[in-house]
Each structure stands twice: as C-alpha cells, then as structure tokens.
A and B are shown apart, each in its own frame.
Chain A
Amino acid sequence: MALNPLFFRKTIIAGTGLFLCIFLVVHLSANCILLLPEETARGLYNSYSTTLRESPLIKIVAYLLYASILLHVFYALLITLRNRKAKPQKYVMNHSKENSTWTSQNMGLIGTMILLFIVVHLANFWARIKLGMGEAVRLDAVGNVDVYEVTSSLFHNIYYVIFYTVLAIPLALHLHHGFKSAFKTLGFYHKNGLRIVAKVALIYAIIMGVGFGIIPLIVYLK
C-alpha cells in the first residue's frame, strides 16, 4: 500500500522533541544543586558530573541526545522548507494572531534561537570539559573535575547571565507549543486527555523557563 513518505517526518520531530523534554527535567534537577551553599554544591555537583561522565549507560544516553538534537533540527528544517514552498505567496494582510498564538506561528524562529543557545552552551561546557578546549579545568579537593568552578565562573560574567536568562524565554515558548503538539502528532486524540496535556505543557514550560532562567541569576547574586 502506498503510504505517505513524508508523514513520518513529523513523527520523528515529535518523538525526539519529547525525548529532549525528558532530558531537560533531568538537567534542571541537576542544576538545582547549584542553589545549595557553595561548598556543598561544589562537592555534590562535581561528584554528580563525574558519575555521569564515567557511566557507560549515560554514554549511550548522551549519543541518543546528540542524535535527537540533530534529527529534530534536520527534519524541522526539511519540513519548514517544504512548508514554505506550499505557501509561496503571502497575504498582503494577515491577522494570524486572531486565530492562533504567535508561538505556534514562529516555532522555527524560536527553535533557531534555542539552537544558537545550544551552540554557545556546548562551547561553554562540553567543549571545555569533554574536549579540553580553552582554559584547562582544575580538579577539586577530592580529585573530581571542578565543573562547579566552570559553571560558577561563567555565571559571574553578567553578559553570560543575561544570555542564559533571556534565552530561557524562547525555550519556554518552544516547549509549551512543542510538548502539547507532539502528543497530537503522535496520534493521541482523546479530547479530555488533550486538555490535560495542554495544562501539563503550560506548567512544564513555566517550570523549565523559570528554572533555567533564574538559576544563572541566583548563582550570579550568590
């Protein structure tokens, strides 16, 4: 039977998106360690990151994560290009805000902002700690790589604090629309269930946006 060759591109975007949503929960939970008093935070944060780096299971998850981000971006780009082709001529006047949210109309733009954030974020941490680029990272008192120092020094630079905090806004917007739409793309069509999904998406997006946005500020002010 001729089945739609393009239909499953959206499934891939939804699936990888939801996987990334789960990842963010774990990431934010770990970030909360940064809110503890300095010495406790340093010990816990460094031992946590060392455990992650040495775990073979996390290694698999990390590759899944890289693959998810790449697939999510790649298919989103493919679909966006095709969608643009489907509407080659724009309206002279279009009041799309009267029938849909700005976020839902601009997921590509918001996603690009998040991608920019990810690139900077990876350069700040991943490149320095895992690839050993830039200034060498010292060990802490118990011999773990001092990831806490990397984080804390970064968040004492006001420009980075502003960058991290401001870009939590597009993250929250993207998650709000993406989370609830992913369920529909994957074929969840229970009416009341979708209402609950929409509420969960809102709460989830607020927690993620506020959480990721406020932690750099708190570290800066600590």
Chain B
Amino acid sequence: MKVTFKIWRQEGPNDKGAIRAYEVDGLTEDMSFLEALDHLNELLVLKDEKVIAFEYDCREGICGQCGVFINGRAHGPHDHMTTCQLHMRSFKEGDTIVVEPWRAASFPVIKDLIVDRSAFDRIIEQGAFISAKTGTAPEANAIPIPKAVSDRAMDAAACIGCGACVATCKNSSAALFTSAKINHLNGLPQGRAEEHKRVAEMTYQMEIEGFGSCTFTGACEVECPEGISIINIAEMNARVTKAKVLG
C-alpha cells in the first residue's frame, strides 16, 4: 500500500513550521496508523533525516497520549476513536493523508506533532481529586451509591484527557474535559464535600489557561474517543451557578 503523508514539521516551539510531503510505500492495510508513522520514521532514519516526533504510549486506546489531527478530523476519520486505534484500512491506495498537531493557544507545539497539554494537568490540580487520606481502600459497601449515580460518574470518569475536544472545538474550549472531571467527582458522595470549591477553582483555571468558551457545536462529543456527552457541559454550567449561589 502506497500513500502520501503531508505532515506538519516544526523544529521547536518558536519555529514557524510547515507541511512536508512524504511518499510512503510498503504499508499494509493491517498496520495501525501509528505503525505507518513508525515505518515512515524508519525510512527517514535510513535516509539520515530527522524523524517525525509524535506521542504515544499504550497503543490500546486508553492512555490518551496519541492525539493528532488526521485529514481534517481529530484522531482521524472515525467518530469516538483514538489515533492508535485507527488502521490503514481506513484509507485507500494512493490517498493523501494530512497530519497536523492539535491546534490551540493553550496547547503550544513542542515539536512536529507533539503539543504541550500541561494546561490540562493544571486544571486537574485545582480539584480533580478528593482530599482523602491514602491507605487501604475502604469497605466497598460502607457508602451505598445508586447504580444510576455510579454509572454517570463512570461515564464522565472515562475521559482519558487526550485533548481531542479542545483540538476539534473552533473555540479551543476545554469545557468537555473540565466538565467530565468535575461531574465524575461531584456526582459521588465522596466528592460532594468539596463540590463547590472544585467547580469554582477548576473552571477558573480553565479560563485563565486561555481556552475559549463552549458554544455547543457538539463537535467534541463526536471526536471524543470515550463518547463523553456534552450534557456534561450543561451540568457543569448548572454546578457553576450552584457554586456561585451556595458556595
């Protein structure tokens, strides 16, 4: 299988960067997209050229490291999928595949396809945890939680922090990510003790990191590998108001 990759190359954060084309032969349909990039990098090594920098870790669709913009879509042409789960069979012989890093002021490019997503970490640091003592896990039945409540918390907790929501959003809004982290904990009894503080501080951090506002285009929930619903954002909005009134 032969394709043409058009890949964003950028030496460093202050470099201008540009798209470069690479014709790659010897691919198979069963290769994952990242394996195709590995293959291209091996060819570049043989030619003594600089390899393309891209991020990955688990290659199992659960770590959230491997986000890139492929042919105009976050994580490639499919809905609800990470880049590592995308395979070359999704493309045709002779296709041109445009690969770009996540674009957002809050996600500056470090090199090539790698962006700095530490803005997410700083949002997490503001309250996506509970101030419980560490130690042995408490007895599971000590706090009864209705199934519906735990299901909703789990749905929100599924967020892997890949940044596709920010990448695809025309406003680079981090509302889906932040709302998932807030609703995951605020819905559960263990998280409720600090709910107003958590909402206030996490949404505040989200704003000062320079992410835009949510205008409910709904693009994020389509690109989200975990299919996290934008209803979470509406719920976060309600929680912000509640924190304002009660907090």
Which residues does A use to contact B, with CB under 8 Å?
Answer: 1-7, 9-11, 79, 82-83, 85-96, 98-101, 104-105, 107, 177, 180-181, 183-189, 191, 194
Contact = CB atoms under 8 A, between A and B. Distances in A.
11 contacts: A1-B243, A2-B204, A10-B214, A83-B215, A87-B212, A91-B69, A92-B100, A99-B218, A99-B219, A186-B241, A194-B234
A174 B213 CA distance: 18
Contact of B237 (A83, A96, A185): A185
A185 B216 contact: yes
B87 interface: no
Interface string B188-204: 00000000110011011
B186 interface: no
Given A83-B171, A87-B105, A93-B100, 11 more contacts: A2-B201, A4-B204, A91-B103, A92-B19, A96-B168, A98-B77, A100-B217, A183-B234, A187-B234, A188-B238, A194-B231
Interface of B: 6, 8, 19, 69, 71-73, 77, 79, 98, 100, 103-106, 168-173, 196-197, 200-201, 203-204, 206-207, 210-219, 222-223, 230-235, 237-241, 243-244, 247
A109 B57 CA distance: 41
* Secondary structure type dominating chain B contacts: mixed
A105 B217 contact: yes
A37 to B, nearest CB: 44
Contact of B172 (A2, A9, A87, A184): A87
A96 B231 contact: no
Contacts of A1: 196-197, 200-201, 243, 247
A181 B207 CA distance: 20
A82 B217 contact: no
A86 B211 contact: yes
Contact of A184 (B19, B222, B233): B233
Given A7-B207, A10-B214, A87 B238 contact: no
B217 A83 contact: no
Nearest to A188: B234
Contact of B103 (A11, A90, A189): A90
A79 B203 CA distance: 16
Most chain B beta-carbon contacts within 10 A, residue among A1, A79, A82:
A1
A100 B219 contact: yes
A92 B21 CA distance: 13
B233 A86 contact: no
A108 B213 CA distance: 13
A186 B197 CA distance: 20
Most chain A beta-carbon contacts within 10 A, residue among B19, B105, B223:
B105
A93 B98 contact: yes
Contacts of A11: 237, 241
B213 A9 contact: yes
Contacts of A105: 170, 217
